[in-house]
Structure 1
Amino acid sequence: MNNYLKLVNFELGRFIKIYFILAGITIASQLIATVLVANNYMKLFNEEIYTNGMTTEQFVETHGEFSLLHVQYSQLFDFPIIFAAATLIIYSFFIWYRDWLGKNTFIYRLLMLPTARINIYLAKASAIFLMVLGLVALQVILLNVESNILKWMVPANLRVDLGIMEFIGNAVGGFSVGLIIPTSFIEFLIHYGVGFMVVFILFTAILFERSYRFKGIAYGIGYAIIAFVVFFAPFVVEMILGKSYLYPIELFILEVLLWVVVTGVSIWVSNYLLNKKVTV
């Protein structure tokens, strides 16, 4: 366990500079978006009231009350979330290939460490997962900060104050926020459970490629396809038959079992490849 934690800390440290840059971009971009959108709303209010002679009640009836939902339509709000997600997806590949293709083939030094090789695999997956959770936590904090900025910029009679869950539940354009911050614990388990499983499948596919080279590309793609087919089989069957034979709770339990199978097999296959096929 101690070796595993050291490896996790090591993997986090290798990406920390880029990670802080992503966090900085997210903070700056979303705060700017919040200020700009709120400022534009107040400009419109002043124009309608002082130039066009509209009353406050008429303005609210025509343009609606302002809330955090208005900010979600700004590209500056969604862009950093999408950019950070894309960066972490790319890094999920890079986290392995940097060790193999980097200077002095660092992967061989990792594999020769006095610890089970599967710890390297688990540490890399854990690092990705922790970085994702870190960005989620940052987004939750930012939503609270942005809500307070709106209270400061927009008068109470012109706005509707929404809690984080209310915002996510009513978000339309801000799909990315609703995706990374589920509205319930069950949704959290589903979103991040599936995401974690995908990381394991991806890592296993990469190890196939690293173990068998050109043949490994086909093996890796084939394994990924089979894994996804197995996991989504209940949904595929229902779509083909055009009828649902399982209650929602039964479907959920079945998917949990399939998640355990797919994730467990991915870890087992990766452990086999690391110990039997990847040599130093």
Structure 2
Amino acid sequence: MRHYFKLLALEVRRFRWIMVGMMLYTLVVECAAVAIDIHNFANRYGIKEGTREPGVVPQSYSFADVIGNTQGGFALGIFIPVAVLVAYVLVIWYRDWFGRHPFAFRQLMLPGGRIPLYFAKLTAIFLFVFSMLALQLVAMAILKLEYAMVTPELLKEPSRFTDAMYASEIFKLLLPLHFSQFLTNYGMGFLGVLLVFAGILLERSYRIRGIVLAALYLALNITLLVLASMSNELSLYPSETIAVCLTIFGLEVAGAIWLSLKLITRKISA
């Protein structure tokens, strides 16, 4: 277990500055989007420093309204870090083979076995994902404070924090209202990472043949998922449909972990 935590700490250290950069980028983009939107709305009614043009009756503008009108800013602030994390699912393995003296050789030869290496990389990915999710919750609190400081008094209108959160379509995807949807979204993300890890280890184990095997393996799993999603079109009860989907999901998760551990312990080399 100590070997696992050391490897996990190593993965976190190697990515920490990129992580900090993504967090700062998200905060800056979202704060800028909110400030620009409030400024534009205030200018529409000629409001400046608590005054307004004669004869102009401004509409109220709540924090939820601001968030709802800055969908583009939120998308820009979130999708770029998401793209970086998706790319890092590949980089977290392949960068260890770069260079004249691959770092992968030392990792695979470490005492304590190779299984902790696999789970350390897997845990690191999800630690980064949920760190970004936690940041988004903190960012919403910062944005609400920004709203209170920047919005002219004539425009302010109270709104619930949850209303503001779910005024953003992006936030609905990141943190769904229903727990079952949350499990579905992040469960599929978890399975996706497992399948990509298994595909990478196939390629690293068999090289050229491994690329073909990885493509076939991923295609098979995707096909099974599509078929599972179509099970609601059959004459099945809702509980039976859920059982079919969960069974296929569980088999794919177990299969990806089993294949990955078999490859990393018995086949893969630096």
TM-score by length of 1: 0.86
CA contact (8 A) 1:33 1:71 kept: no
Check the 8 A contact 1:231/1:262 in 2, yes or no.
no
SS in 2 for 1:11: helix
Given candidates 211, 230, 237, the residue that maps to 1:246 is 237
Give the conservation status (yes or no) of the 8 Å contact 2:67–2:167.
no
1:45 alignment partner in structure 2: 45
> If each structure's helix is expressed as a fraction of its own residues, which one has the higher value?
1
**Corresponding letter in the other structure for 1:143:** M
Residue 81 of structure 2 aligns with which residue?
Answer: 84
Q: Does the CA-based 8 Å contact 1:82-1:176 persist in structure 2? A: no
Contact 1:118 1:270 (C-alpha < 8 Å) held by counterparts: no
Aligned to 1:260: 250
More contact order relative to length (CA 8 Å, sep ≥ 6): 2
Cα distance, 1:37–1:103 mapped onto 2, change above 3 Å: farther
The structure-2 alpha-carbon separation of the partners of 1:46 and 1:244, relative to structure 1 and needing over 3 Å to count, comes to farther
Aligned residue type for 1:77: F
Q: 1:80-159 maps to which residues of 2 (within 5 A)?
A: 80-154=77-151, 158-159=155-156
- How far apart are the structure 2 equivalents of 1:169 and 1:50? 31
Q: Distance in 1 between matches of 2:205 and 2:234?
A: 42
Q: CA deviation at 1:164?
A: 4.4
Which residues of 2 match residues 227-238 of structure 1 at below 5 A?
Answer: 227-238=221-232
In the aligned structure 2, how far is the partner of 1:253 from the partner of 1:144? 39
- Aligned partners of 1:250, 1:67: CA distance in 2, in Å? 43
- 1:185 counterpart residue number: 179
User: 2:163: which partner in 1?
Assistant: 166
The runs of 5 or more residues in structure 1 that have no matched partner are none
Distance 1:236 1:130, change over 3 A: same
1:200–1:263 CA contact under 8 A, matched in 2: yes
Pick which of 37-46 and 120-129 moved more: 37-46
Q: In the superposition, relative to structure 1, how do residues 72 and 107 fare at CA in structure 2: closer, same or farther (>3 Å)?
A: farther
Show CA shifts across 1:78-117 (max 9, x none): 2121000000011111111101123411111111111231
Q: Partners of 2:164 and 2:216 in 1: how far apart?
A: 40
Cα RMSD of the aligned pairs, angstroms, is: 2.3
Cα distance in 1 between the residues matched to 2:3 and 2:150: 50
Shift of 1:245: 2.3
For the 8 Å contact 1:4–1:120, the answer to whether it is kept is yes
SS at match of 1:245: coil
Query: 2: distance between equivalents of 1:206 and 1:52?
Result: 66
Structure 1 residues 231 and 116 mapped into 2: Cα distance closer, same or farther (>3 Å)?
Answer: farther
Amino acid at match of 2:230: V
Could you say if the C-alpha distance between residues 245 and 43 of structure 1 is closer, same or farther in structure 2, counting changes exceeding 3 Å?
A: same
Q: Distance in 1 between matches of 2:256 and 2:154?
A: 55
> Which shows bigger deviation, 7-16 or 95-104?
95-104
Structure 1 residues 196 and 160, CA, compared in 2 at 3 Å: closer, same or farther? farther
Amino acid at match of 1:214: I
- AA paired with 1:193? G
Whichever residue aligns with residue 33 of structure 1, its letter is: A
- Alpha-carbon separation, structure 2, partners of 1:270 and 1:86: 24
Q: TM-score, normalised by structure 2?
A: 0.89
Matched, 1:23 2:13: no
Which residue of 1 is the match for residue 63 of structure 2? 67
TM-superposed CA distance for 1:253, in Å, is 4.1
Q: CA deviation at 1:217?
A: 0.9
Determine the structure 1 residue equivalent to 2:56.
54
SS in 1 for 2:166: helix
Give the share of equivalent positions with the same residue, in percent. 27
